[in-house]
Each structure stands twice: as C-alpha cells, then as structure tokens.
Structure 1
C-alpha cells in the first residue's frame, strides 16, 4: 500500500503525463475534471471535519475556474465565450460565499454546472472547439 505522500506523488506524475502533449481541447476537459474533483474533495473534507482541507479544495476549484475564465477567446463570432464568462464568474462567486460558511448545496450546484459543461465539452470534437 502506498503511503499518503507516495500516493500524492504518483497522482501528480500521472497528471503530468496526461498534460504533457495534450491538445488544448483535452486540457480544458482535464480542468473541468479537476474542478469537479476538488468539489468532491471539499464535500468529503467537510463531512470529516477537515475545515482547512475543505477551504483548500474550494480555493483550488476557484483557481481552476479562473484559469478557464482566462482561457476564453472573445475573438470568435459567437456569444458562447460571453455566456461562459458569465457562468464562470457566477460559479466563482457562489464558491467564494461557501469559504467562510460551508454550504454543501452550493457546492453541489456548482458541481452540477461543471458536470454539464464537462459533458458538453467531451461531446465536442477538437475541430469544433
């Protein structure tokens, strides 16, 4: 059985292997998966009374959402980037409200939105992204 530090290192190496050489389309998919994973972790940490770990997980999710926000390209003839911008900002604001006073329903709301986005993104071909 791997020790916790070894398991974390193994996970990091696996993630680095996925990122290296990944297409921009794949990277966005990984960001969605990472944000969803952090919200799962935040909910689990809260149920275990691990307040600081919960705060860290939500902060990582907010960082990922900020990264997604920064990756938007507004140079296309579509309102999609503007809609995504609004949705990312909304999710960030919702998560910032749960940092001080945890609300699992808010985390689940944001998680549901991310799952819809991730599913839609996964169904797109890289050429249409």
Structure 2
C-alpha cells in the first residue's frame, strides 16, 4: 500500500516530531539509536556489495557520533566525559576501518560498544533526570546573577 519513499518520509517526519518534543535525555537516546540503525544498514549494504549505500550509512553514523561528542558537557564529570570522548573517537576510527576493509565484524564491535553506552543511558531514572535538570538550571541562574 505504501511505497518505500512514503515509509521513509513517515519515519523522517516521525523522528522530527520525536526530536521536537523530546527532552535532552531523549534526544541523546534517539541519536544513539540512530547510530545503531545506520551501522546495521551499513552492514546490510556491505553484505549486498552496495558500496554507495555503505558509504552513506557509515558516514551518517560517524556524523551522529560526532554530534554526540559535541553534546558532551565537559563541566559535568570531566573524567567520564574524557572517557566517552575517547570511546567515541575509537568508534569513529573503527567505523572508518570497517568501511575500507568492508568487515562486518568490526561494525559488530562498534555496535556492541554503542549498545553498552546506550544501555547505561537508558537506565537513568526520571528522578535522576529531574535532579540533573534542576542542578543545571540552578548553576545557570547563579551564573546570570553573578
């Protein structure tokens, strides 16, 4: 009933709607899921020898990881942020290696890493999110009043 383009347009509109109404925690979840989705697509393209599709999917996964890196709050927990930044950098290096070597096993390693990060992120409770939001608002209010 729906063509491929219609389904893609629906998914794109649905994602835009999710992002427009999402809190920062949800945005990060959506970005992480986007990385996982693009990596899975990249694997499929490699398996089908679709090199143009592979390049597009893996490039997009790297762009999303870079967006996650750009969103890291260096003031919140510098050691954790440095570790995450290094891990994201490692993932990008491995995705580039997988793209050149066309090795799905390397992509599987990156997927496993992202699943671990996302799994930890998904465990953050609503109370923890509210506390972090409250703390951030108090700090920004203090900076304005200083």
Cα distance change on mapping 1:98 and 1:47 into 2, 3 Å: same
The Cα of 1:91 is off from its aligned counterpart by 0.3
Larger radius of gyration between Structure 1 and Structure 2: 2
Aligned to 1:15: 15
Is 1:106 matched with 2:109? no
1:124 maps to what in 2? 124
Change (3 A) 1:77 1:32: closer
Q: TM-score, normalised on structure 1?
A: 0.94
Q: Runs of 5+ in structure 1 lacking a partner?
A: none
Match of 2:83 in 1: 83
1:31 paired with 2:24, answer no
Runs of 4+ in 1 over 6 A off after TM superposition: none
**Counterpart residue number, 2:137:** none
* 1:54-65 pair list within 5 angstroms: 54-65=54-65
The structural deviation recorded for 1:128 is: 5.9
CA RMSD of the aligned region, Å?
Answer: 1.3
Q: Give the total of aligned pairs.
A: 129
CA distance in 2, matches of 1:105, 1:93: 14
Give the CA deviation at 1:7. Answer: 1.2
Q: Which runs of 5+ in 2 are unaligned?
A: 133-146
Q: Which structure ranks higher in relative contact order (CA pairs < 8 Å, sequence separation ≥ 6)?
A: 1
The residue that corresponds to 1:93 in the other structure is 93
Identify the structure with the greater helix proportion.
Answer: 2
Question: Measured at CA, do residues 32 and 77 of structure 1 come closer, stay the same or move farther in structure 2, by a change above 3 Å?
Answer: closer
What is residue 6 of structure 1 aligned with on the other side? Answer: 6
**Residues 30-70 of structure 1: CA deviation (Å, up to 9, x unaligned):** 00100001011111111122111011110010000000110
SS at match of 2:21: coil
